[in-house]
Amino acid sequence: MYDFAYTKPASLADAVHALGGADAKALAGGQTLIPVLKLRLNRPAIVVDLAGLGLSGIKVTGGTVTIGATTTHATVAASLDVQRAFPALACLAAGIGDIQVRNRGTLGGSLANNDPAADYPAVALASDATIRTNKRAIAAGDFFQGLFTTALEPDEIITEVAFQAPQRAAYTKFRNPASRYAMVGVFVAKGGQGVRVAVTGAGQNGVFRHTAFEQALERAWAPESLDGISTPADDLNSDIHGSAEYRGHLIGVIAKRAVAAS
Amino acid sequence: MPQVSLTVNGKRETVEVEGRTLLVELLREKLGLTGTHVGCDTSQCGACVVLVDGQSAKSCTMLALQADGASITTVEGLAAADGTLHPMQAMFREHHALQCGFCTPGMVMSAIDLVQSHPEGLTEAQIRHGLEGNLCRCTGYHNIVKAIAAAQKLMHHQQQAQAAE
């Protein structure tokens, strides 16, 4: 790892100011950033630790679950409020990485990184989440913009995320047997906005909504509704773990399992 | 050089580090606590697990500076001053839960967090699932699981006895 300066601001304004400098990088739980720095894939001049900003916490109001950006996966998974209001969200958080990763990794860090195999982008997209920053509120549909790319500006910090708890929902993933990352993860949700199906792990451009599945599930919320609907392989990942066609097939299988589990 | 102040195994320490110094480097190289191991250095194997404010964390995936103000427990901090082993260490010995021993410190620290965060008790399946972040290359998992199952009884008993006092 190359060396860098480190700062841990105590206020959002100071953090935004620090991130405005040249080659600054925000650090939340560090479960992705630190491995990336070890591989020298990134060389920041300064790392801005967001842990001192008090952005951690969970609020449930009506059907909205609002979670602070630096809330850890372990905290979300263990929260009785989240388990009651939006069980599929608690379940998704409980399945990220391993216990040690969940103890350090954060919601905001996962969304800002937008890893194509990350779990949180799927629930954000499928539950019409609003991502609030120091500048604005961004709808999840506008937030994810491709591999490791989001609508965030360099000096923009996620402060909290508001999820709309659906009436029915579930997240199912097919893990790579070695890395345990999702080769395909599907979040299905049926809520006030209608049906949402978000797919992670498979898309060349990261998380995406499966509109053909959504239309079929609007007609009838049952696994059989997805029979005969194929997923074109054109925009899917192909790598040593599986071809695009394989992933396309897997999306249908996993989506059915998710609907059955909801 | 930046300084980090933290408590390690009950002792206050203030150490000069670089921005890039990892917590595990601070523990091993600056404080000489080589019980915490570096296996994969890629957050997968769990040989470097320590407790940070009571929660298990991979110390190879944490900057030393992130631990400023925190209380760290390493495997060296578990036994009593007179050498009496922590129940988890005692049960690892009792059930021969190690072969080469490389993964043992991380296994022990993860297991302690696992037991402490489940006061209601753990099933064998939960113990196995809870060790997802720790790899044993000797594949000695069976006795590790047995040791944790035995230790959880001792730890919960000890906790109840302490609460009664």
Q: What is the DSSP string of A198-228?
A: EEESSBTTS-EE-HHHHHHHHH--SGGGGTT
Q: Is residue A182 part of a domain?
A: yes
Residue A153 has which token pair? 């500006």
Is the alpha carbon torsion for A117, A123, A124, A126 positive or negative?
positive
Chain A CB within 8 Å of residue B63 CB: yes
Closest CA to A66 of A86, A52, A50: A86
Chain B CB within 8 Å of residue A188 CB: no
Strand order in the sheet with A130-133: A58-61, A64-68, A158-164, A130-133, A137-139
Q: DSSP label at B6?
A: E
Q: Where are the alpha helices (DSSP H) in chain A?
A: 12-19, 33-38, 73-78, 80-85, 87-94, 99-104, 107-113, 120-126, 140-143, 211-219, 244-261
Single residue among A49, A64, A81 that ends a domain in this structure: A49
The range of the structural domain enclosing residue A22 comes to 5-49
Which of residues B157 and B82 earns the better pLDDT score? B82
CATH code for B3-77?
Answer: 3.10.20.30
Instruction: For chain B, give the mean pLDDT.
Output: 96
**Coil vs helix vs strand at A50:** helix
Distance from CA of B55 to the nearest CA of A (A): 7
Q: Is residue A116 part of a domain?
A: no
Q: Is residue A143 part of a domain?
A: no
Q: Is residue A62 part of a domain?
A: no
Distance from CA of A1 to the nearest CA of B (A): 7
Domain count, chain A: 2
What was the pLDDT predicted at A192?
87
Q: Is residue A188 part of a domain?
A: yes
What was the pLDDT predicted at B95?
97
Q: What's the rounded Cα separation, in Å, for the pair A185 and A167?
A: 20
Whether the Cβ atoms of residue B5 and residue B66 lie closer than 8 Å to each other? no
Among all residues of chain B, which has the CA nearest to that of A180?
B132
Whether the Cβ atoms of residue A69 and residue A107 lie closer than 8 Å to each other? yes
Band (pLDDT 50/70/90 cuts) for residue B164 is: confident
Residue B57 has which token pair? 């964390």
Task: Give the CATH number, domain containing residue A235.
Answer: 3.30.390.50
Q: Is residue A67 part of a domain?
A: no
On whether the B87-164 domain is CATH 3.90.1300.10, my answer is no
Distance from CA of B165 to the nearest CA of A (A): 30
Q: Is residue A157 part of a domain?
A: no
CB contacts, 8 Å: A47 with chain B? 19, 63
CB contacts, 8 Å: A75 with chain B? none
State which H helix or E strand residue B86 sits in.
none
**Whole-prediction pTM value?**
0.96
- Which amino acid is present at B137? R
Does B20 sit within 8 Å of A4, measured CB to CB? yes
The domains of chain B are located at 3-77, 87-164
Is the alpha carbon torsion for A145, A150, A152, A157 positive or negative?
positive
**Coil vs helix vs strand at A171:** strand
* B125 CB burial (10 A radius; 0-12, 13-18, 19+): exposed
CB under 8 Å to B160, separation ≥6 — which residues?
A: none
Q: What is the dihedral of CA A136, A137, A141, A143, to 10 degrees?
A: 40
Opening angle at CA B33, ends B30 and B37, nearest 5: 105
What does the pLDDT look like over B106-138, one tens digit per residue? 999 999 999 999 999 999 999 999 999 999 999
Question: pLDDT tens digits, chain A, 262 residues: what are they?
Answer: 999 999 999 999 999 999 998 899 999 999 999 999 999 999 999 999 999 999 999 999 999 999 999 999 999 999 999 999 999 999 999 999 999 999 999 999 999 999 999 999 999 999 999 999 999 999 999 999 999 999 999 999 999 999 999 999 999 999 998 888 999 999 999 998 899 999 999 999 999 999 999 999 999 999 999 999 999 999 999 999 999 999 999 999 999 999 999 9
State which H helix or E strand residue A138 sits in.
strand A137-139
Opening angle at CA A202, ends A201 and A207, nearest 5: 65
Q: Is residue A238 part of a domain?
A: yes
Is the alpha carbon torsion for A127, A253, A106, A136 positive or negative?
negative
Task: Tally A–B CB contacts below 8 A.
Answer: 72
Opening angle at CA A180, ends A203 and B99, nearest 5: 160
Q: What's the rounded Cα separation, in Å, for the pair B110 and B78?
A: 13
What was the pLDDT predicted at B158?
86
Q: What's the rounded Cα separation, in Å, for the pair B4 and B120?
A: 37
CB under 8 Å to A120, separation ≥6 — which residues?
A: A92, A93, A96, A107, A110, A111
